[in-house]
Amino acid sequence: MATALPPRLISMPTKSYWHTRNLFNSGSGVSQTLPFARETLRQHTSDVCIIGAGIAGCSLAHHLMRLDPDVSVTLIDGRHIAGGATGRNGGLLWPCLNASLDHVIKTKGKEKAVEILCFDDQSAEQTFDLFELNPAMKELAEYSPFLDGGFQLFEGVEEATADIADLALMQSLGFGRDLELWSKEKTNHHFNSSGFLGGIRHPQVGRVWAARLALGLALAAAASAGNRHPAGAGRLTMIEATEVVCVQELGGGCDEESLRDYGGQGTLIGRDSNYFGEGGEVAERAKRRESIILAGKGFSETLCNSGIAEATTAMFKRGATKKIAPGTHSSSSSLKEGVKKSSIRKDQRAGLQLSVKTARGDAVRCSTIVHCTNAYTALLLPELIGKVVPVRNQVAVTSPLAPGQSLARDAAIYAREGFVYCSPRSDGRLVLGGFRDVLPHREVGTFDDGRLDMTVSQSLRRYLPDRFPKIFDSSKGGQAPVFEMEWSGILGFTEDRFPLVGALPPVSDTQKQYFVSDSASHVRTRSVSQDQSHASTLRNQGLSRRGQYICGGFSGHGMTRAYSCAEGLARDLMGLPPGPAPLPSAFSPEGRL
């Protein structure tokens, strides 16, 4: 899974369906700003700086605020909340292993494999409870379970043989007892389809508007942080539409003067002058808003339309989050005991000072940094080039289907070993994605979500008529689907397909090949190919990685794992016991980097 170049954030990504609709449809015309701190942020201090505001970053902010009454957090994103894969996916909550169980047992051992299976069950239950026990969040994210669950469909003999063997192995370990094996005849009959060799029915699969879920978690974090309290701005700060360009360990190789003088040196990875320069997109967006208010006319402000934001924060203020995670230590005595042991406080006592600097000149001082950048991890952690690899995926949405045109069952579909997925939405549309398996390189190492691959597009658009001809093939009595939009998103894959959650190890001598020195006080990333468009002064100078953590590399399966992974990391940072979904040891970065 090696790739020679660090990823870069594209300035003009394709438009995602999840970013373009009127997200609340209230008709009130009332616009609100999100309840984040509004002070000028040229110099700022927080306990924790979270880089990346997707499902992982927003979940982490929520858990930290919920569990610690004193912690302060800054959340930074180069685009906006859910601007990456969280807002560009297929809208599915489908708990599954995402790797051959037999292979996991052979490579990780039976004990670790069972740990992962337990976590997946517990994490899925916790994620589903987030909606079922919180009506405002359920409404906001448009969550609903598929009435018929999800179907893992077989299109080839080898695929069917491997998946059936995996199911038998899983059930022999006491997992997946509610999964049902369907025959070829039963599958094709119930789906009014042709060409499937059978399938496995998963009863607990849900649809969700993931971008709204991330927003809801950010709102919940803001409510817990007291950001609506009249006496102050609160403990949660959001910085949007500007990338992190420098991470430094103060008192180490970089002094205060060099930090102040850093701005504007060199070339940023993947950014051309018309993006960051005078009159560029980021500069213009910054002019349209107060310091760190979420983008003036962008996605995040739209999300705040009407009273849904108020309802969500009110719901969390009422303490509904206590229902989400039964067994969490929320009493004052246990919480204080945990905080005394926390990694955050330990780093503060040790005098660890980290600085995070953005492209527009904000400098955030903190003792803890958490990288929640998933596919873009190697942008700030170049030693992870080839360890967390960007993988492009494409997704499309149809217009609402005509009466009688819909799939025969209210079910999600997962086929070709996960390279194809499809889900009916509550408004009659179908969301269909994947198909990167038609390319030799399977889009591994591709980070450009500003483009579509036409070979993938053609395969995607042929799929419904090919597999469901009676419904979607006009030559066989069906009606061809009309595709409204198609977009791409970048996934972050690890070699074993399991996320990295925990403390980052120091940069090894071998990994230092990805760094070159600019001067005595600066280190910059080096592209292996020396492509000048990627040569960068974007830096992470804390090569000891003290105080730096990661929650990413979800390999296309973050929607049912990220919420619980973030809680596990939050508890670890605060020295609290594990929550309802303890992190598997296999997710730790130790020994994997």
Q: What does the H/E/C string look like for 501-523?
A: EEECCCCCCCHHHHEEECCCCCE
Q: Higher model confidence: residue 219 or residue 226? A: 219
Strands 244-249, 539-540: pairing is parallel
For residue 146, what pLDDT is reported? 97
Residue 38 banded pLDDT, cuts 50, 70, 90: very low
Angle at 512 (CA atoms; ends 507, 514), nearest 5 degrees = 115
**Does residue 28 have a pLDDT over 60?**
no
Q: How far apart, in whole angstroms, are the C-alpha atoms of residue 156 and residue 419?
A: 13
Q: Where do the H-state alpha helices sit in 146-290?
A: 157-172, 184-191, 210-224, 256-260, 273-276, 281-287
Q: Which of 34-38, 51-55, 70-74 is predicted with the least confidence, judged by mean pLDDT?
A: 34-38
Q: Which residue has the higher pLDDT, 101 or 264?
A: 101
Confidence of residue 20 (pLDDT cuts 50, 70, 90): confident
Dihedral (CA of 76, 78, 80, 84) sign? negative
Q: Are 292 and 239 in contact (CB under 8 A)?
A: yes
User: In which band, very low, low, confident or very high, does the pLDDT at 344 lie, cut at 50, 70 and 90?
Assistant: confident
> Can you say how many angstroms the Cα of residue 282 is from the centroid of all Cα atoms in its chain?
22
Cα separation of 525 and 511, whole Å?
A: 11
In whole angstroms, what is the distance from residue 343 CA to residue 345 CA?
6
* Across 232-246, 425-439, 462-476, least confident range: 232-246
Q: Say whether 147 sits in a helix, a strand or coil.
A: coil
- What's the CA gap between 187 and 574, in Å, rounded? 49
Residue 587's CB: how many other CB atoms inside 10 A?
A: 24
Q: Is the pLDDT confidence value at 433 over 90?
A: yes
Cβ burial, residue 313 (10 Å; 0-12/13-18/19+): buried
Average pLDDT over residues 316-336: 32
Q: Which domains does the chain have, with CATH numbers?
A: 41-89+210-267+323-377+496-508+542-587 (3.50.50.60)
Q: Are strands 354-358 and 244-249 parallel, antiparallel or unpaired?
A: antiparallel
Instruction: Give the strand order in the sheet containing 92-93.
Output: 92-93, 206-207, 144-145
Averaged pLDDT score across all residues of the chain: 80
Any bridge partners for residue 488, and if so which? 394
> What is the predicted pLDDT for the residue at 462?
98
Radius of gyration of the chain (CA): 23
Q: How many CA atoms lie within 13 A of 200 on its CB side?
A: 26
What is the pLDDT, as a whole number, of residue 21?
A: 59
CB 68 within 8 A of CB 574: yes
pLDDT reading at 423 higher than 90:
yes
For residue 282, the model assigns a pLDDT of: 32
Does 521 or 574 have the greater pLDDT score? 574
d(CA 286, CA 301): 14
Could you give the percent of the chain with pLDDT greater than 70? 73
Confidence of residue 34 (pLDDT cuts 50, 70, 90): low
The type of residue at 183 is S
Residue 171's pLDDT is 98
Is pLDDT above 90 for 560?
yes
Tell me the C-alpha distance between 62 and 310, whole Å: 16
| Distance of alpha carbon 510 from alpha carbon 514, whole angstroms | 9
Residues 163-172 as b or e (16 or more Cβ within 10 Å = b)? beebbebbee
Q: Which two tokens stand for residue 2?
A: 């090696």
- Note the pLDDT of residue 401: 94
Does the pLDDT of residue 416 top 90, yes or no? yes
Written as six digits, the tokens of 463 are 């799929």
HEC profile of 545-574: CCCEEEEECCCCCCCCCHHHHHHHHHHHHH
Between 518 and 50, the more confident residue is 50
Lowest mean pLDDT among 158-167, 400-409, 459-468, 583-592: 400-409
Structure confidence by residue, pLDDT tens digits, 81-90:
999 999 999 9
Confidence of residue 36 (pLDDT cuts 50, 70, 90): low
pLDDT band at 251 (very low <50, low <70, confident <90, very high): low
Rounded Cα distance between 188 and 197, Å, is: 8
Angle at 393 between CA 388 and CA 396, to 5 degrees: 155
- Tens of pLDDT, residue by residue over 513-535, are 666 443 333 334 443 333 333 33
d(CA 494, CA 500) in angstroms, rounded, equals: 8
**If we measure between CA atoms, which residue out of 351, 330, 60 comes closest to residue 217?**
60
Q: Which of 480, 444, 453 is nearest to 465 (CA)?
A: 480
**Residue-wise pLDDT tens digits, 117-134:** 999 999 999 999 999 999
Residue for token digits 């038609």? Answer: 438
Q: What is the pLDDT of residue 33?
A: 46
Q: What is the mean pLDDT of residues 271-287?
A: 32
**Span 413-433, average pLDDT:** 96
Q: What is the DSSP string of 54-89?
A: SHHHHHHHHHHHHH-SS--EEEEESS-TT-SGGGSS
pLDDT at position 90 is 97
Look at residue 467 and tell me whether its pLDDT is greater than 50: yes
pTM of the model: 0.84
So what's the pLDDT on residue 291?
A: 27
Average pLDDT, stretch 18-42?
49
Task: Give the max Cα distance, the chain.
Answer: 73
Query: In the predicted model, what is the mean pLDDT of residues 2-29?
Result: 70
